[in-house]
Amino acid sequence: MRTIKHSGVHELEIRRSRFICALARVVTEEEAQAFIAGRRRAHRDATHNCTAYVLGEHGEITRNSDDGEPAGTAGLPMLEVLGGRGLTGVAAVVTRYFGGVKLGAGGLVRAYGQAVAETIDAVGVVERRPVVTVTVSVGHERAGRLQRDLHASPYPPVGARYGRRAEIDVAVPEEDLAAFEAWAAAATGGQADLRRGARTLVDAEI
């Protein structure tokens, strides 16, 4: 799944109308609605605050609103840009301050789509990849070398604890679990205990 790298705002002017697009990373519909409500409060004097969002690991939840623009000329083209970029977990609000020149239906579709596309380009895109935290437990005499080997491998450690044994946490891509466990066994001479933990999503540069 892909999402935006971070939230952001971008403004453009088209035939004297100001279009201000704000994007935010969101997980739930409640978060998306709260973001939209905040933008509407911030721009309550605007002509329109049109919205679209895509949620779910596979982008299965979609909503959009034209907020008074002609039907299908604002929210839908915004949504189509999000979907066309393969993004999910994103809410978009495009605020329009009317400049006195009508754009027509085609002009509105292009303007709202352009506002979202340019803002995506400005904030950047990342891929959300599933990883599993694997805890590698070894004796203290092996911990230093294992840490060095991990830093030199494709599996850098993300945390460590030192008690009766050294416990080193590694975020492993889900598809690499078997390969990592084989690597860890070879790197420690079979002396490591491995424990799989939670599955999470992490950002990865595209």
- 3-36 residue pLDDT tens: 999 999 999 999 999 999 999 999 999 999 999 9
CA–chain centroid gap for 203, Å, is 7
Q: What is the pTM of this model?
A: 0.77
Annotated domain spans of the chain: 2-123, 127-205
Cα gap 12→77, rounded to integer Å: 16
> What was the pLDDT predicted at 156?
86
Taking CA atoms, 82 is separated from 59, 90, 117, 121, in Å, by: 10, 8, 8, 12
What is the dihedral angle through the alpha carbons of 142, 148, 153, 158, rounded to the nearest 10 degrees? 90
Q: What is the mean pLDDT of residues 165-190?
A: 92
Closest CA to 48 of 24, 72, 22, 74: 74
Mean pLDDT score of the chain: 93
138, pLDDT greater than 90: yes
> What was the pLDDT predicted at 82?
97
- 63-89 residue pLDDT tens: 999 999 999 999 999 999 999 999 999
- Name the CATH code of domain 2-123 (choices 3.30.930.10, 3.40.50.300, 3.30.230.30, 3.40.640.10): 3.30.230.30
For the domain made up of 127-205, the CATH class stated in words is alpha beta
If one compares 204 and 82, the residue with the highest pLDDT of the two is 82
> What was the pLDDT predicted at 205?
73
